[in-house]
Structure 1
Amino acid sequence: MTKQLERIQIFDHKAFGRLIADYATGRKPWPASIEEFRAEVEGPNIAKIPSHMKAIQVVQPSDEIFFLRLPPKTLFSQSLERYAANDANGTTEPYPAPPFYSDMVCREERLTHTDFFLSRVADYTISVCS
């Protein structure tokens, strides 16, 4: 089996989502390099970018273009194998979803709709279906 690749870890979904919102709306310029992005999220402890990530590619489609974003083949395959093994073994571990989903759905912590939306943006930005 191949070595499991580390994924981006988000420590503050709302702050990460706000940063992505600022990029998307033009309030802040997109990072020109992975190093610049790393500094923006790691300095204030918003997220940790794995060292195996060497570059950044920013894409913003127009309203008229469906952007089909495929997950990285290795990450996707590793996740599919892991979840299939869990299913075959009868594992009852919960699916690894960020805690803000249960905070909003189960009302464990009261989130505003804006905070929940920004947290979802953060999750969708890094999730790549894996």
Structure 2
Amino acid sequence: MTEQRLGRITIFDHKAFGRLIADYATGVRPWPASLDEFKQEVEGRNIAKVPEHMKAIQVVQPSDEIFFLRLPPRKMISQSLERFAENDASGNTEPYPAPPFYSDMVCREARLTHTDFFLSRVADYTISVCT
């Protein structure tokens, strides 16, 4: 692969990130007005790190009557398809990269409450772009 992979937000605390997103969604907190404001919120509290290539934020909250089709960035999906095809062709049997809280809940490696697991999933879905 000749292109450098585009990074996505790195979450350090899925539960805290999910709580922040839930607070935005329910109106407990106002949405960030800028990417800088969002970065101050998540980086200042050591919840997540926003990659340097991200320059703006777009907040969208559809109603329950609208199907929101969110497409991943073209470059990111192309790079991921290429990377996983290379892994498949080489016989790479390493587990698919998923945040550890999924294993914690499903395999009971750590005890998570349903709320903690839900908030962690909200965090993961918020930043996931099929990569």
Fold agreement, TM-score > 0.5: yes
Partner of 2:121 in structure 1?
120
Partner Cα separation in structure 2 for residue 115 and residue 7 of structure 1: 22
1:40 shift after superposition = 0.4
TM-score in terms of structure 1 length: 0.98
Percent identity reads: 81
The C-alpha deviation readout for 1:58-111, integer Å capped at 9, x for no partner, is 000011000000001111111111111000000011100000000000000000
Provide structure 2 residue ranges, at least 5 long, that are not aligned to the other structure.
none
Partner of 1:88 in structure 2?
89
TM-score in terms of structure 2 length: 0.98
2:76 matches 1:61: no
Partner of 2:20 in structure 1?
19
Partner of 1:99 in structure 2?
100
Provide structure 1 residue ranges, at least 5 long, that are not aligned to the other structure.
none
Partner of 2:80 in structure 1?
79
Partner Cα separation in structure 1 for residue 117 and residue 100 of structure 2: 11
Paired positions, count:
130
Partner of 1:129 in structure 2?
130
The C-alpha deviation readout for 1:25-57, integer Å capped at 9, x for no partner, is 000000011100001000111000000000000
Root-mean-square deviation over aligned CA pairs: 0.6
